[in-house]
Structures are given as C-alpha cells and as structure tokens.
A and B are shown apart, each in its own frame.
Chain A
C-alpha cells in the first residue's frame, strides 16, 4: 500500500529538519471570497497540511475564538455543498494535504456515503470529526474506506494506553494529539517550557502510533515549537491564525512567522 499523502507531507517536513505545519481556518472565514485567497496563501507559504473547518451550530470541542468564527461563517451561508463544490473547482491546485474538520451531524445529514464520495473527488484526504470517539467510528470508517478517505484519530492527555492502542490499530494519515484538557484556543501553559504531563502524553502517543503525531490546541507563538522538537511530528494552528487575521494580518504573514 502506498504511503498516505497526509503521512507523506509530514514525513517530508521532518526530512527537511522541521515540524509539519498544519494551519486551520473555518471554511468561509473571514468571508466567503477572502477565505480562498487565505487558503492559497497558506499553500504557497508552505503549509504541509491545511485543515478547513466545517461549521456547526453546536461545536462542543471548540473554544470561543473558533466557535465565534464558525457561527459567523454559518450566518454567511457556508455549508458542506459550498465547501465541497469550491474545493472540487480547485482540485489539483494545492501542494498541501487537505483535511476537513468538524462535527458529525452536518456530515450525517449530507449522507455518509455521498460525503465520502464528494470529499474524495474534491481532493480531500482526511476528515477529523471532533464528536466521534472510537466507539462510534465504525459506520463512518466503513463509508470512508472505499473512497480512500481517512478518519484522523484524535487523542488527548487523558487517553489511556489501552484507548490509545484502539486508535493506533487502524490509524492512518496522522494522529491529532490535544495538548490541553479543554477546548480549542485554551492556554496550554507552556509559554516557557513543556510541562511534564504533556511530555509524557506525547511520548505515549509517539510510542502507540506508527503514523506521525500532530499537536494541537493552545499553540500561541513560534517559540513553543522549539520545545516540541523531537517529541512530535507536526503542529496545528487554529485560534492563533484566526486571531492573526482578526488583527488585520494575512495567512502569508502568519506562515512566515511560524516557519
């Protein structure tokens, strides 16, 4: 079996001696037109994987920054048909791997099989569903597998070794490790050094998974990346990018700082 493209993008970054960079932006943010310009910039500036948020009215795993941005996109009329349609029209344009992140219900209403088909043919490589733990993932993986679409495992500080192994067994693409017991955008508390708990959790994840491990939730500034060297393969930036755009910046500028 050929290496999954998401795995490969991160491995390529590691081979160049740096962490894989995975920016996240809610689809349609800051507005529907500018969003695609931001995605183009992220890709051109060297994002290894781009995560696009599928907005949901009740995002329980997200903190206030991402929730506010997502609800704004919903008000602007963003839905899955728009996201997948626009991606299909841009197919082949991006060097980066593409991942959609969101919650199950909009995907369920779109239709699992139809979603898998349309996402795959629009050039999407992986899906993160924040409210689907291992126990509920069976029917989703059954729908995704025939299309080569990967369900990215999401684990955290309180994931036991036994549960880590459940996710690792079928894990493909990369594993998403949540660095805080909280929601997106929450202070992770490692402005200076990396706390022992996160260090231990990451070591456990690295041991369990044969695919790369990406760290997300709570990254605020580039100095934090140095502390992660050797412990993790990639880093996800969500709230930090939204704040950067809210403050008048663009994605190109954001990537320059982090790269």
Chain B
C-alpha cells in the first residue's frame, strides 16, 4: 500500500510549504512514539492525569428493555470530559520531544480546543486555538475554559465560519510558524501522518475495552458502535477489534434534521463522494463541481463535511458499516440514558447510542453491544433544554 494511504484514501494533499513539518512529524512519530521512554511517559500521563483506564459500564436497565447487553466505554470519564485528551496529551508530549514550544489547533465545538489547552498548560507550552466565529458564539463556555487554561482563541471569520474554516486557518498559521510550533490536529483525518498518529493515540480506547470485555463478560463483544464526525473516537474504539472478524464495527454519522434539502454530516452513509479536502483523499459532502458544502448536526463535534480516510477505507472494504441517525434520535437517546442509567452522554455519543436503541430489536437477543461513550453531555444542556421545551 502506498505510504500514508488506507486503500484508496489518505495521502498528503498540502502545499509544498507544509511538507517539511509533515515529514518531520512523520519521522518523529516513527522514531519517538514506539520508544520505551515515550510509551512509559505516556502511560503514566494517561493513568495519573487523564484518569485511565476508563470504566466499561454495564447498563442493567436498558439491557433489560432492549433484550441485548449494553456496555458503555466511558470516555466521558477521561479528564476534560471526552476522549479528545488521549490525543492531545500524546501530541503535547511529542511536541516536547521535538523541542517545539507552541501548540496550535483547530476546534469546532471546542472540545478539542479545551483538550489541547489543558495539555499545553500541563506541559508548559504556548497554545493558540483557531475556532470558527460562529462556533465562538455558539460555544462560549468552552471558549472561557480554553482561555482559563491560558490559550489564545482566534475567531475565524472566513468561509462558513465553522470547523472546516478553522482547519484552513490553522493550516495557514502552521505554514508561517512551523519552526517553533506543532499543529495538534484533533481528529483522525487531515494529511498523513495525522490519521495514523491520532489513531495510534486513540487506540487506547479499544485496547482497554477488549481486555475489559474479556474480563467482565468473558467474551468479545458482538458489536462495537461509535459516532463518526472526523472519526477519532470511532477509529480508537474499532482499532483493536479489527482482526476479530466476529465483532461487527458500526460507525454512526449525523443525519442532521433528516428533512430533504437540509445539511447533514454523513459523507459515508448518506451523500458523499470521493474528493480532496484538508490534505486527504476521502469521502466528502460536495457539489458536482468539487466545492465543499456546509455540514450540519445538532452535535457540534460531528459537524464536518469530510471523514477520516481510514473510515472511508473500512467502508470500501466492508470491515465496518456506516449508518446515520437524525438529531431527534440522538436527543431521545440523550434523555433515555440519563433517566435510565444515570449517565448523561454528549450529543455526539448519543448518535451511537441512538442507533443501538433503534436497532437492538434486529439484533440476536443477548448480543453484547459496546457503545463508545465518547464524551459527557454537560456541554449540551442548553441545546437539550431547548429541544425538551419545544417538545413540551
């Protein structure tokens, strides 16, 4: 397989000016990441700072109702409230080893921005976060959190003023500041080596979950289900199970409102086609002329018109299946899990859960289903309250 590719997807479609820092990062990833020193330090950080391993929680009440055994991999319990920190701690550590002094990152909802900012604070790095101007308005709580951790937040006024434009701005800033700065990419997407690097750092999710299932259930799961925006929690939740052919891997994208003509965020399962954006060849939501279309989801972290290239490859090979659920299904799942199990999921994770609640009836009774609960839902209370008020 061509270097930096997953099947037909991936690559390094960036201006030549970005090739030197990408090659430098690739070299560092191959040399530093596998070293015992790095792995020991990372393991220590994950244990004592992030709070890993995160629990694998059995859901007795919903399992009774659904007729399948529902397990949650509790990334909501990781420091910062989501899986994002697995990646940022690893990349911040790598940045120190590279002798760079500053992290820059894009963020959509602000979760990756917060996770980058807290990692920068922990490792004594400067931090600049690029965030679409619309998202800065919509996610003011996370903007305040980033600033408290000492990050500078730069509102991006160009294009659609959301995540995809924040990535453009961060890539541009990296061109100018590559000597001293590492671009801490937030998802398993973008130009090589980011999809590989982020997957390696997020694979801790499935490494733990596989051991926990064997320990707590005495068997492998029948399904592993995770939400997919860029796809970092899903690739992390899938990775160790990929060789286990009996384990069905399901990625759940955001279908938006589900109304014809409305934007969505489901390039794999609804209306994507292959193309090149943000340095990668992958499935995109685009016009026939190759212009990238706006995306939408009620879950800000899924709101992206592309997807990580390894997911596009798993779809093509059939190893994973990609489906979508609408905003309503996710919102209902948010409420259902809160009331029945005392766990409030992020709206992103609620998509994965919503798909299981909807489709459990079609599964073999008694199946073991692991849902990656990628984050906690506190950040989404305003959105959910508005929804419940509208429904009442």
A–B Cβ pairs within 8 angstroms, 30 of them: A57-B291, A58-B159, A58-B278, A58-B292, A60-B168, A61-B175, A63-B172, A74-B291, A104-B13, A104-B276, A105-B284, A109-B275, A109-B289, A133-B14, A133-B16, A133-B19, A134-B16, A154-B16, A156-B16, A156-B17, A158-B178, A159-B16, A159-B17, A159-B19, A163-B16, A180-B176, A182-B172, A182-B175, A183-B175, A186-B176
Alpha-carbon distance between A159 and B20 when the two chains are bound, in angstroms: 7
Could you tell me if A105 and B277 are in contact, using CB atoms closer than 8 angstroms?
A: yes
A147 within 8 A of B: no
Shortest Cβ distance from residue A65 to the other chain B in the assembled complex, whole angstroms = 11
Extra contacts besides A58-B168, A106-B291, A163-B19 (18): CB < 8 Å: A56-B290, A57-B292, A60-B171, A79-B289, A80-B289, A81-B289, A105-B286, A106-B290, A109-B273, A109-B275, A109-B286, A109-B288, A133-B14, A156-B16, A178-B17, A182-B176, A183-B172, A186-B176
B279 within 8 A of A: yes
Name which residue of chain A comes closest to B170, CB basis. Answer: A60
Shortest Cβ distance from residue A73 to the other chain B in the assembled complex, whole angstroms = 11
Alpha-carbon distance between A106 and B159 when the two chains are bound, in angstroms: 17
Name which residue of chain A comes closest to B17, CB basis. Answer: A156
B158 within 8 A of A: yes
A181 within 8 A of B: yes
Shortest Cβ distance from residue A93 to the other chain B in the assembled complex, whole angstroms = 26
Could you tell me if B13 and A109 are in contact, using CB atoms closer than 8 angstroms?
A: no
B324 within 8 A of A: no
Shortest Cβ distance from residue B192 to the other chain A in the assembled complex, whole angstroms = 9
Could you tell me if B12 and A108 are in contact, using CB atoms closer than 8 angstroms?
A: no
Could you tell me if B277 and A58 are in contact, using CB atoms closer than 8 angstroms?
A: yes
B308 within 8 A of A: no
A71 within 8 A of B: yes
Q: Which residues of B contact A227 (CB under 8 A)?
A: none
Shortest Cβ distance from residue B313 to the other chain A in the assembled complex, whole angstroms = 17
Alpha-carbon distance between A61 and B275 when the two chains are bound, in angstroms: 18
B11 within 8 A of A: yes
Q: Which residues of B contact A81 (CB under 8 A)?
A: 289
Could you tell me if A61 and B159 are in contact, using CB atoms closer than 8 angstroms?
A: no
Shortest Cβ distance from residue A79 to the other chain B in the assembled complex, whole angstroms = 5
- Scan B1-35; emit 1 where CB is below 8 A from any A CB, else 0: 00010000001111111111000000000000000
Q: Which residues of B contact A56 (CB under 8 A)?
A: 290-291
A146 within 8 A of B: no
Q: Which residues of A contact B284 (CB under 8 A)?
A: 105
Name which residue of chain A comes closest to B3, CB basis. Answer: A135
Could you tell me if A135 and B12 are in contact, using CB atoms closer than 8 angstroms?
A: yes
Cross-chain contact of A106 among B12, B14, B289 (Cβ < 8 A): B289
- Scan B149-193; emit 1 where CB is below 8 A from any A CB, else 0: 000000000110000110010011001101000000000000000
Alpha-carbon distance between A136 and B8 when the two chains are bound, in angstroms: 13
Alpha-carbon distance between A159 and B18 when the two chains are bound, in angstroms: 9
Name which residue of chain B comes closest to A158, CB basis. Answer: B20
Could you tell me if B164 and A58 are in contact, using CB atoms closer than 8 angstroms?
A: yes
Could you tell me if B168 and A155 are in contact, using CB atoms closer than 8 angstroms?
A: no
Alpha-carbon distance between A108 and B18 when the two chains are bound, in angstroms: 21
- Chain A residues 123-151 with CB under 8 Å of chain B are 130-136
Could you tell me if A57 and B159 are in contact, using CB atoms closer than 8 angstroms?
A: yes
